[in-house]
């Protein structure tokens, strides 16, 4: 009983420590870059980010990922019924293949939106 509680506590501490470390590293690095650009009298317009464009790209990426995953489940089911391929292998391979294809295609769609 004590071992399970210890594993749970260590997992959560490690997880939140990792998230905090990544966020800390990101913000300190970003701050150093901005200070260096300000010292060199660079144009501050490079700090501006268009949130609408980011939201569009993210929603396209997420939608195509989920569509690819759903299509992967469908094709995995078809493979399980029509072939002698085992169920976990068929489902996992098709989900990863079609979700990856959805992410690759979302990259090209987002790139076309940018242009």
pTM confidence score: 0.55
Tell me the per-residue pLDDT of 29-76, one tens digit each, with 9 for 90 and over.
Answer: 988 888 888 888 877 677 776 666 677 788 888 999 999 999 999 999
Same domain flag for 59 and 112: yes
Same domain flag for 35 and 60: no
C-alpha to C-alpha distances, 7 to 3, 13, 20, 21, 112, nearest whole angstrom: 6, 10, 20, 21, 47
Same domain flag for 91 and 107: yes
* pLDDT value, residue 98: 94
Same domain flag for 36 and 56: no
Tell me the per-residue pLDDT of 9-40, one tens digit each, with 9 for 90 and over.
Answer: 999 999 999 999 999 999 999 888 888 888 88
* pLDDT value, residue 95: 93
Domain that holds residue 105: 49-115
Same domain flag for 30 and 62: no
Count up the domains in the chain and report the number. Answer: 2
């Amino acid at each position: 009983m004590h071992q399970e509680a210890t594993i749970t506590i260590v997992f959560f501490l490690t997880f939140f420590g990792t998230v905090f470390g990544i966020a800390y590293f990101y913000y300190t690095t970003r701050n150093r870059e901005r200070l260096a650009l300000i010292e060199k009298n660079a144009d501050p317009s490079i700090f501006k980010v268009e949130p609408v464009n980011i939201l569009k790209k993210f929603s396209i990426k997420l939608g195509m990922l989920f569509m690819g995953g759903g299509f992967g489940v469908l094709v995995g089911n078809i493979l399980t019924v029509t072939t002698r391929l085992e169920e976990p292998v068929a489902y996992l391979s098709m989900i990863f293949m079609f979700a990856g294809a959805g992410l690759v295609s979302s990259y090209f769609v987002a790139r076309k939106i940018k242009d």
